[in-house]
């Protein structure tokens, strides 16, 4: 176990925190995925479609289906906080030449949507979150339903935007991406269809692998700083406990309750994201004799990252051998 830096819990209230989804290269694990079909019918004169996406996992999805018939640009690159992202002038310039923008329903798309659209009134806009059932944002301790989003349903309830962390929901996103690609490039329909079917099969296999690996777990509760894993928890019958909710620091009373809950459930790991204030997480970890472990919900190699995350959850569920 890595030794956490010691901070007092009382000092936590003095820490100013910024919360959001960050990205950094994922821990790589061995996995087997097939390469997408290459477009042999593409002539040398044919230019690839120019597609812009919001986050790196989407780039993975698009390239799985389109192969080299597309050129994908991602706005939120490695190490960038998605929640407070602002597009750079060069990105807006590049967007002016894009054939399509593929969104995923995260907060900055709401804030910058008009600006992004105004950069290119001719490009097609696809929101892959449409039609996907989202989980509501719950309190600090709720089974499989934690999340973080500024999106609301018709009753004003906050919804979780992290729909790319569920293989079954990614299947829905892949279908939407396929339809868009066929609309923009009818000549590539056969290639896109073959690649889509292959990708859907890989998603089913990934889902089964994760399910089998997690099935034996007895301790199915995990503690996170930012609640990015609500869909993952719901899919695989896990329980996510979040320290922050709606980007807000918990009160002293909530912190005390979190510490008590973590002790009762024998939690020995706090999962954070790379851009978080790690000192705050380590202050709580000191109180519950836990370690702080980074997870990246926005890693570029999505399937390998999902397996790496699974392994981290398994490791975190094991009892402390020193106790």
pLDDT at 282: 81
Give a yes or no: residue 150 inside a domain.
Answer: no
C-alpha distances in Å from residue 264, one per residue of 52, 109, 219, 267 = 46, 39, 11, 8
Looking at 179, 210, 241, which one is the last position of a domain? 210
Our count of domains for the chain comes to 2
pLDDT at 248: 77
Residues 237-271 as b/e (b if ≥16 CB within 10 A, e otherwise) read ebbbbbbbbeeebbeeebbeebeebbeebebbbbb
pLDDT at 22: 47
- 12 or 116, which is more confident: 116
Which residue range(s) make up the domain with 167?
A: 49-129+160-210
pLDDT at 27: 42
Give a yes or no: residue 138 inside a domain.
Answer: no
Both 237 and 297 in one domain: the answer is: yes
Both 102 and 54 in one domain: the answer is: yes
Give a yes or no: residue 249 inside a domain.
Answer: yes
How many C-beta atoms surround the C-beta of residue 98 within 10 A? Answer: 22
DSSP letter, residue 190: H
Return mean pLDDT, the chain: 83
Both 182 and 57 in one domain: the answer is: yes
The model's confidence at residue 80, banded by pLDDT at 50, 70 and 90, is confident
* Tens of pLDDT, residues 209-262: 999 999 999 999 999 998 999 999 999 999 999 988 777 777 888 888 899 999
Both 266 and 206 in one domain: the answer is: no
Both 205 and 262 in one domain: the answer is: no
Both 286 and 200 in one domain: the answer is: no
Q: pTM for this structure?
A: 0.81
Both 72 and 172 in one domain: the answer is: yes
CB 169 within 8 A of CB 104: no
Give a yes or no: residue 145 inside a domain.
Answer: no
C-alpha distances in Å from residue 172, one per residue of 4, 127, 175, 299 = 40, 12, 5, 20
- d(C-alpha 218, C-alpha 221), whole Å: 9
Average pLDDT over residues 145-169: 70
Give a yes or no: residue 35 inside a domain.
Answer: no
Q: Which range (79-83, 87-91, 115-119, 262-266) has the least confidence?
A: 79-83
The sign of the CA dihedral 313, 315, 318, 322 is negative
Question: CA nearest 31: which of 11, 69, 60?
Answer: 60
Those residues whose C-beta lies under 8 Å from the C-beta of residue 53, and which sit 6 or more positions away, are 59, 62, 72, 73, 74, 75, 101, 102, 103, 104
Query: Domain with 66 in it: what CATH number?
Result: 3.40.50.1980
- d(C-alpha 265, C-alpha 257), whole Å: 12
Both 105 and 234 in one domain: the answer is: no
Give a yes or no: residue 229 inside a domain.
Answer: yes
Both 232 and 250 in one domain: the answer is: yes
- 307 or 6, which is more confident: 307
Give a yes or no: residue 179 inside a domain.
Answer: yes
Both 59 and 196 in one domain: the answer is: yes
**Alpha helices in 135-289, H assignment, sequence order:** 167-184, 189-214, 230-235, 252-264, 278-288
Both 236 and 268 in one domain: the answer is: yes
Three-state SS at 136 = strand
Give a yes or no: residue 283 inside a domain.
Answer: yes
* Tens of pLDDT, residues 99-146: 999 999 998 999 999 999 999 999 999 999 999 999 987 555 443 443
Give the position of tokens 């996510």: 240
The model's confidence at residue 299, banded by pLDDT at 50, 70 and 90, is very high
Share of the chain above pLDDT 90, in %: 63
Question: CA nearest 290: which of 322, 268, 318?
Answer: 268
The model's confidence at residue 34, banded by pLDDT at 50, 70 and 90, is low
* Tens of pLDDT, residues 253-282: 888 889 999 999 999 999 998 766 677 678
User: E strands along the chain, which residues?
Assistant: 49-55, 70-76, 100-103, 124-127, 141-142, 221-224, 239-242, 269-272, 291-294
Both 196 and 225 in one domain: the answer is: no
Is residue 2 predicted with pLDDT exceeding 70? Answer: no
- d(C-alpha 51, C-alpha 102), whole Å: 7
- 151 or 74, which is more confident: 74
Give the position of tokens 């698009």: 62
Crossing angle, helix 167-184 and helix 56-66, to 10 degrees?
A: 60
pLDDT at 283: 80
């Amino acid at each position: 176990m890595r030794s956490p830096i010691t901070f007092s819990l009382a000092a936590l209230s003095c820490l100013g925190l910024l919360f959001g989804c960050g990205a950094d290269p994922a821990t790589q694990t061995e996995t087997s995925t097939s390469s997408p079909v290459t477009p042999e019918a593409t002539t040398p004169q044919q230019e690839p479609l120019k597609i812009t996406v919001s986050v790196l996992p989407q780039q993975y999805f698009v390239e799985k289906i389109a192969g080299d018939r597309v050129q994908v640009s991602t706005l939120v690159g490695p190490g960038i906080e998605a929640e407070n992202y602002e597009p750079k002038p060069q990105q807006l310039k590049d967007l002016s030449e894009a054939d399509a923008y593929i969104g995923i329903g995260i907060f900055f798309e709401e804030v910058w949507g008009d600006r992004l659209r105004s950069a290119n009134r001719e490009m097609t806009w696809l929101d892959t979150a449409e039609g996907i059932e989202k989980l509501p944002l719950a309190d600090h301790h709720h089974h499989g339903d934690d999340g973080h989003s500024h999106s609301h349903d018709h009753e004003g309830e906050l919804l979780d935007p992290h729909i790319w962390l569920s293989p079954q929901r990614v299947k829905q996103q892949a279908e939407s991406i396929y339809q868009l690609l066929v609309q923009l490039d009818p000549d590539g329909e056969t290639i896109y269809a073959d690649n889509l079917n292959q990708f859907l099969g890989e998603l089913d296999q990934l889902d089964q692998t994760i399910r089998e690996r997690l099935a034996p777990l007895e301790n199915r509760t995990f503690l996170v700083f930012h609640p990015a894993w609500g869909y993952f928890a719901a899919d695989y019958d896990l329980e996510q406990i979040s320290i922050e909710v709606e980007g807000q620091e918990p009160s002293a009373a909530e912190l005390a309750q979190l510490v008590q809950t973590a002790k009762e459930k024998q939690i020995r790991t706090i999962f954070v994201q790379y851009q978080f204030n790690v000192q705050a997480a380590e202050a709580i970890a000191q109180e519950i004799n836990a370690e702080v472990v980074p997870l990246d919900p926005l890693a570029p190699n999505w399937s390998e990252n999902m397996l790496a995350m699974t392994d981290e959850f398994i490791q975190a569920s094991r009892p402390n051998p020193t106790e």
